[in-house]
Amino acid sequence: MLFFVALGVLYAASLSGKYVELPNGVRYNPSAAAGLAAVASIGGIVLTYVVWNLWRGYRSVLRDKLPAYGLVFFLIGYAAFFSFIPAATAGNIELTLATLITGVALIFLGYVLAFILAAYQLYKQTGEGLFLAATILYALFFIGLVTAYIGHILMYLGAGRAAERRSTPAAPPPPS
């Protein structure tokens, strides 16, 4: 739900057409950045509440710290991911990419520990087949996300190669 709210805020802010240019030449829309920061903050508050409740449940039911710590990694990854907003508005590409990559890595680690591992441990503890089904579905979702990110990387590399081919002049045909 928050994804669509953020998408709507970004779209509405982009209609304003107001962009600020930084001294290094980077242009950004302050309305879009502020809207995205507000939605990310609301999402962070909701996520913190959910993590707190799941933490208590994992600690009492599973008696294992690893899934509970996975929730913390997930929350820290969320915060790290959305710290790209100030880095992007400052025009620092390296810091923006570093925060995005760090955030995604921590979110993936937290996801595996908090959901896949926890569901499997609940299956082992109770023998309930629904927990095994949840484990499989969580793993399939994770694999789907990983393949989607690999697809994004391949598209980025392919676009770079295509741009390089376009920018280099074509060699004249050999004389016949």
| Residue located via tokens 């955030």 | 103
Nearest to 106 by CA among 87, 82, 85: 82
Task: Give Cα separations from 9 to 2, 60, 81, 104, 147 (angstroms).
Answer: 10, 39, 18, 22, 28
> Would you list the domain boundaries of the chain?
15-160
Q: Do residues 97 and 153 lie in contact, with contact meaning Cβ atoms separated by under 8 Å?
A: no
Is the pTM value of this prediction over 0.85?
no
Is the CB of residue 100 less than 8 Å from the CB of residue 84?
A: yes
Backbone angles phi, psi at 64, to 5 degrees: -135, 140
What mean pLDDT is predicted for residues 83-111? 86
How much is the average pLDDT of 161-172? 74
Q: Which residue has the higher pLDDT, 63 or 115?
A: 115
Please compute the mean of the pLDDT values over residues 18-29 and round it to a whole number.
76
**What pLDDT is attached to residue 176?**
65
Percent of the chain exceeding pLDDT 70 equals 89
Amino acid identity for residue 45 in this structure: I
Give the residue, 1 or 135, on which the prediction is more confident: 135
pLDDT at 120: 92
Helix (H, G, I), strand (E, B), or coil: what is residue 20?
Answer: strand
Of the pLDDT bands very low, low, confident and very high (cuts 50, 70, 90), residue 65 is confident
- What confidence tier does 110 reach under pLDDT thresholds 50, 70, 90? very high
Which comes out higher in pLDDT, residue 129 or 17? Answer: 129
**88 pLDDT higher than 70:** yes
